[in-house]
Structure 1
Amino acid sequence: MSKTILITGASAGLGAEMARQFAAAGHDLALCARRLERLEELRAEILAAHPDRRVEIRALDVNDDEEVFAVFRAFRDDFGTLDRIIVNAGLGKGAPLGTGGHAANRETAMTNFVAALTQSEAAMEIFRAQNAGHFVMISSMSAMRGLPKSMTTYAATKAGVAHLAEGLRHELHGKPISVTVIYPGYIASEMNDQVPSEQPMMVSTEKGVRAMVDAIEKEKASACVPALPWAPLSVVMKHAPLPLFRRMV
């Protein structure tokens, strides 16, 4: 069944590839990001491959609260309804706490958590009014356990947004609004540019996003993607003794 899907942070990386794959699956798209020119290029690419799809685009800085609500409502008005909203926009900046990197850590915290809270508010405003919808939060495998050094703030934000979504799932259980949390592992993207290319668990953007899209389409409550090796590793990450965990990361 065709759906109307809103994706934030859709101009590149995982967001752009999700847009391509959802369009190929027959869905219409509401795409937003700061870089409007990249969205225009993506829309042209998608429509060239799938001319029967509808793709609406808008510029959006997710750190502008008023703009988030305005853009989400405008997309809802464009289509008449939004069936699925994917909170995907995020940053990967960071520095060890107390080493002079407060500005980078704060920027990541504001974009990855506070802005995600705003997007969640805007999404749920629409879904509550419709009494229907599928809310998707893109977290990270780093949410499984606190991480050291430059990853400390990033991991904390991803744990935070996962808990936001899990709280909604608890509240909405048995109601016609579903909630999915996606925990991506190492998937090639702009955010993972700093990860060494020889990292053995890194997968291509297309392969990694295919696993994300499959879990989202099935409306799974949560999914570590790709499932191998990340689903079993999630258990190890949560419960491994700290000396062992430190060697892993």
Structure 2
Amino acid sequence: MRKNIIITGASSGLGEGMAKAFAKRGRNLGLCARRLDRLEVLKADLLQINPDIIVHTQALDVNNHDAVFRVFNQFRKDFGVVDRVFVNAGIGKGGAIGAGHFKENKETFLTNAVSALAQCEAAVEIFRAQNHGHLVTISSVGAVRGFPGLMNVYAASKAALSSLSEGLQIELLHTPIQVSTIHPGFIRTPMNEEAKSLPFAVNIETGCNAIVNAIEKEIKNAYVPFWPWALLHYLLRIAPLNILRKLS
């Protein structure tokens, strides 16, 4: 059993939801995010859910890459061993390319791709030293194709993360270090609460339970919730460009 778990971006959204799901399963949690006050509130909630677990919190902006290594190693000292790390922190700012959104688009790509690399580096460094561990990257169904408008850079950043994760799966094949990539479909979170249309969207509890169930099986690539995304991602891969344009 993967007992000691690190989750980045844990103060809201999928990170918060996964923390609650794992607390119910009796896992110890190392939670990090920019908003330490939110993490402390979450810690209290988790200990109410399960008073027998250990919860550590650390303030972390994943765009501070030196801090990523420092915080992960502090969690390793706190727990003695780290069994699983979630590369979860991400944002969805931005807009159409060439329409004055470069600052926001750059921040999205930096956070979702470059800072995800920093998290993978820090986690796998710990796992190599331990000679075991489970790296989980939270990508997106949107990673399977390019999308126009405000989805463009977000999808591209998640595609970079999916490719990085697959490379690690190949590199670490037949070792005690496992790598899983989760591609969520539409799950209602604070990041997308203003979106007008989210087909097949589920609430955060349903979405996080689907993610955690896939992770516990240590599936290499999971599209969740299984219905309809396990099928739809195949259709997205072959959809003509004019269809993808209508989806934006």
**Same fold, judged at TM 0.5 (above):** yes
Aligned-partner Cα distance in 1 for 2:109–2:198: 26
2:59 maps to which residue? 59
CA 1:103–1:148 in 2, change beyond 3 Å: closer, same or farther?
same
Instruction: Please report the TM-score for the alignment, with normalisation by the length of structure 1.
Output: 0.97
Supply the AA of the counterpart residue of 1:44. A
Aligned-partner Cα distance in 1 for 2:3–2:94: 36
Aligned-partner Cα distance in 2 for 1:116–1:46: 26
Q: Deviations over 1:48-89 (max 9, x none)?
A: 121001000000000001110000000000001100000000
Instruction: Please report the TM-score for the alignment, with normalisation by the length of structure 2.
Output: 0.98
1:232 maps to which residue? 231
Structure 1: tracts of 5 or more residues without a match: none
Supply the AA of the counterpart residue of 1:33. A
**Shift in Å at residue 240 of structure 1?**
1.4
Contact 1:2 1:26 in 2 (8 A): no
CA 1:41–1:227 in 2, change beyond 3 Å: closer, same or farther?
same
CA 1:166–1:148 in 2, change beyond 3 Å: closer, same or farther?
same
Q: Deviations over 1:130-163 (max 9, x none)?
A: 0100000000011010000111100000000011
1:180 maps to which residue? 180
**Shift in Å at residue 2 of structure 1?**
5.3
Q: How does 1:78-227 map to 2 (within 5 A)?
A: 78-196=78-196, 199-227=198-226
**Shift in Å at residue 194 of structure 1?**
2.3
Aligned-partner Cα distance in 2 for 1:199–1:95: 17
Supply the AA of the counterpart residue of 2:220. A
Q: Deviations over 1:148-188 (max 9, x none)?
A: 01111000000000111100000011110000000011101
Supply the AA of the counterpart residue of 1:23. A
Aligned-partner Cα distance in 2 for 1:182–1:199: 19
Contact 2:2 2:83 in 1 (8 A): no
**Shift in Å at residue 95 of structure 1?**
1.0
Aligned residues with identical type, % of pairs: 52
SS in 1 for 2:94: coil
2:13 maps to which residue? 13
Aligned-partner Cα distance in 2 for 1:12–1:100: 29
1:24 maps to which residue? 24
**How many residues are matched?**
248
RMSD over equivalenced CA pairs, Å:
1.0
Supply the AA of the counterpart residue of 1:213. V
Supply the AA of the counterpart residue of 1:182. I
Contact 1:113 1:157 in 2 (8 A): yes
Runs of 4 or more, structure 1, over 3 Å off, are none
Supply the AA of the counterpart residue of 2:121. E
**Shift in Å at residue 245 of structure 1?**
3.0
Aligned-partner Cα distance in 1 for 2:61–2:244: 36
